[in-house]
Amino acid sequence: MLIKHRKKVFWLAALGLLVFLHAIGVLRPLENSAVKILNPLAGKLFLASTKIRVAFQKQTAKSDFAQIVKDLETEVGRLSEENASLLSIKNENEILREHLGFLERNKYKYVMANVISREDVLNVSGQTESIIIDKGGKDGLYSGLAVINKQGVVIGKIAEVKENSAQVHLVNSDKCKFAATVLGEEHTSGIAQGSLGLVIKMGYIPQATIIKAGDMVATSGLEQPIPRGLVIGKVTEIQKENNDLWQTATIEPIQDLGDLIIVSVVLPDNQ
């Protein structure tokens, strides 16, 4: 205990002596020498600390910038998805308005439906020949009803019906047939049937009947329960043989059958 006390007194005395010597200027030469020696070291330490601080700030800034970029990319993705959804809704609303406009002008009874899947997409022609809609037997649908697009153009016929869905054979399918009329100089009737998933063929047209490319083809009304006057397509080519009684017209569908979203099934007046 005594030794510790003596050490404490010694260091206090030494500190007091140094303060006194500094005050009277005795230590000034020694202090000047120490400053000369330590200044370069202090400068190097300051420079090193500055570099470390700047490097840390840059790294922090890079990290913050990377996070900002990531946040912006996330926001752009969210807005793009939201924009696509809004455009899809807008497109569907426009289609619905056109459907309703056509159906109300012509006073057809109808059931509107969404296309929920496509069948036979990868066929020989690469064209869709069959679709599934989300309305079925519980909605009053049955086999043989005509299906139209938003402009009232025939795109197919109901083939098979389940309670909550139905299969539609499209007009380019060889499984789809319509009693049709060429709306040209002479109105002539025949059977319009899909061919190879690409076009529609209308046969059994008398050789003497005048038809030409550009003539419109519509339902004839001779097939129940399909009304008369629904447009099927446009004549693009006529095939006739000199020794044949009949001629055949090639008809091109007006609707792009690959982009159907909403369709309407036309019901008979008595339903």
The CATH fold of domain 110-271: Thrombin, subunit H (2.40.10)
The DSSP string of 34-101 is HHHHHHHHHHHHHHHHHHHHHHHHHHHHHHHHHHHHHHHHHHHHHHHHHHHHHHHHHHHHHHHHHHHH
Q: What is the pLDDT of residue 2?
A: 53
Q: Please, what is the average pLDDT of the chain? A: 78
Q: What is the pLDDT of residue 88?
A: 60
Tell me: cis bond preceding 206? Omega within 30 of 0 counts: no
CA dist., res. 104 & res. 267, Å (int): 13
Q: Is 183 helix (H, G, I), strand (E, B) or coil?
A: strand
Residue ranges per structural domain of the chain:
1-107, 110-271
The tens digit of pLDDT for each residue in 200-250 reads 999 888 888 889 999 999 999 899 899 998 989 999 999 887 777 888 999
CA dist., res. 25 & res. 31, Å (int): 10
What token pair was written down for 121? Answer: 């997409």
Q: What is the pLDDT of residue 4?
A: 58
Q: What is the pLDDT of residue 139?
A: 95
pLDDT category at 128 given cuts 50, 70, 90 is confident
Smallest CA-to-CA distance from 260 within 104, 182, 147 is with: 147
Q: Are 157 and 141 in contact (CB under 8 A)?
A: no
- Using alpha carbons, list the distances in angstroms from residue 106 to 75, 135, 152: 47, 22, 10
Percent of the chain with pLDDT over 90: 31
Nearest-Å Rg of the Cα atoms of the chain is 44
Quickly count: other Cβ atoms within 10 Å of residue 61's Cβ: 10
What token pair was written down for 234? Answer: 């446009």
Q: Are 218 and 181 in contact (CB under 8 A)?
A: yes
The tens digit of pLDDT for each residue in 168-191 reads 999 999 999 999 999 877 778 889
The tens digit of pLDDT for each residue in 27-65 reads 556 555 555 555 565 556 566 666 666 666 666 656 666
Residue type present at position 85? S
pLDDT beyond 90 at 17: no
CA 113 to chain centre: 20
Looking from the CA of 35 toward its CB, the CA atoms found within 13 Å total: 6
Q: What is the pTM of this model?
A: 0.65
Q: What is the pLDDT of residue 107?
A: 76
**Mean pLDDT calculated for residue range 110-125:** 75
Burial 65-74 (b: 16+ CB within 10 A, else e): eeeeeeeeee
pLDDT category at 151 given cuts 50, 70, 90 is confident
216 forms beta bridges with 183, 234
What token pair was written down for 77? Answer: 């993705």
Smallest CA-to-CA distance from 129 within 85, 162, 175 is with: 175
